[in-house]
Amino acid sequence: MTPDLLEEGARRVQKHRAAPTGLNNTESGGRSASDGRLTTAGEVDVAHGRILYLEDVSVSFDGFKAINKLSLDIAPGELRCIIGPNGAGKTTMMDIITGKTRPNEGRVFFGSTIDLLRHKESEIAQLGIGRKFQKPTVFEQLTVFENLELALKTHKGVKASMFFRLDSVQSDRLAEMLVTIQLAGSVNRLAGNLSHGQKQWLEIGMLLMQDPKLLLLDEPVAGMTDEETARTAELFLTLKGKHSLMVVEHDMSFIRTISEIVTVLCDGSVLAQGTLDQVQADERVIEVYLGR
Ligand SMILES: Nc1ncnc2c1ncn2[C@@H]1O[C@H](COP(=O)(O)OP(=O)(O)O)[C@@H](O)[C@H]1O
Ligand SMILES: [Mg+2]
């Protein structure tokens, strides 16, 4: 969820006189929107064939290098899979891209002209980078419809949202999204009553309502049933091309279904990159996964 959405949703939930669930103890919990909201997102310059570009990025926590000279780039419309053992730095990399964590050194660009290190977390979301944290973060006391509507409204800016009514184009988009995330039959159900997988889809739908250019998804199928995982793979394949996606996952059969290029992270940098077959045959990758 974006900072603006968290803020507006919390306001809305309060109106319902119930505490938000699943919001306070998430990885993103407690973030608040800043004043420096960008009003126009503008276009991202991808003339150089990259929507995201990281060069020699490092970050240390108490002297421990969680990210170590990490360089990586993603093409527009690409669906990039990121794998790697626990502690490799996958989540920290997403924290850096989204402005939650500042690296000690390196360059992080969105397209060829937007220096993400010069922007705050809320601005980065407004620029068109959506992030799905591992745990589902939906407004449980609101219905599926209300959650999606809120995401659409918040995208328009919080101030405007007080007087906001869905026009027919937006209603159509919302209806389409319900089909895309396979929740058309659950439109009036409270989000809190959905299955884990359905909550994950709802949150992805909320992110998509904000039309992100780049979508970062951290372990989206963790805890899903096999059927939910298969449906999520289908969904991601339909998003590819329209959006650029970076998907961190441990589930190798899921990765096999959706992946083109797979990047293996280890000790904060890229260990290997290629097709899943290529990286799985790589001795260094085998060593890391089997343990030294
Ligand atoms: N805010 C933080 N403070 C201290 N250490 C951190 C912090 N965030 C991550 N780390 C450490 O950085 C390493 C990489 O973590 P993480 O990015 O969560 O790995 P992954 O997502 O690949 O499992 C881990 O050793 C983790 O303990
Ligand atoms: Mg992680």
Query: pLDDT tens, 99-139?
Result: 999 999 999 999 999 999 999 999 999 999 999 998 888 99
**Residue 84 near ligand 1, beta carbon < 6 Å:** yes
Tell me the ligand closest to 61's alpha carbon. 1
Q: Which of 1-15, 153-167, 250-264 has the lowest mean pLDDT?
A: 153-167
How close is the Cα of 57 to the center of ligand 1, in Å? 15
Strand partners, 269: 266
Task: Tell me if 212 CB under 6 Å of ligand 1.
Answer: no
Q: What is the predicted pLDDT for the residue at 205? A: 96
Does the beta carbon of 19 lie inside 6 Å of ligand 1? no
CA distance 165 to 27: 32
Whose Cα sits closest to atom 12 in ligand 1?
66
Query: What are the residue boundaries of the structural domains of the chain, listed by start?
Result: 3-44+76-88+128-290
Q: pLDDT band for 2, please (50, 70, 90 cuts).
A: confident
* Ligand nearest to the CA of residue 87, numbered in listed order: 1
Ligand 2 centroid to Cα of residue 222, in Å, is 11
pTM: 0.85
Give long-range contacts, CB 8 A cutoff, 24+ apart: 57-64: 57/93, 57/96, 57/103, 57/105, 57/106, 57/107, 57/108, 58/103, 58/104, 58/105, 58/106, 58/268, 59/92, 59/96, 59/101, 59/102, 59/103, 59/104, 59/268, 60/104
pLDDT at 75: 97
Among 2.40.50.140, 3.40.50.12280, 3.40.50.300, 3.10.580.10, what is the CATH number of 3-44+76-88+128-290? 3.40.50.300
Confidence of residue 153 (pLDDT cuts 50, 70, 90): confident
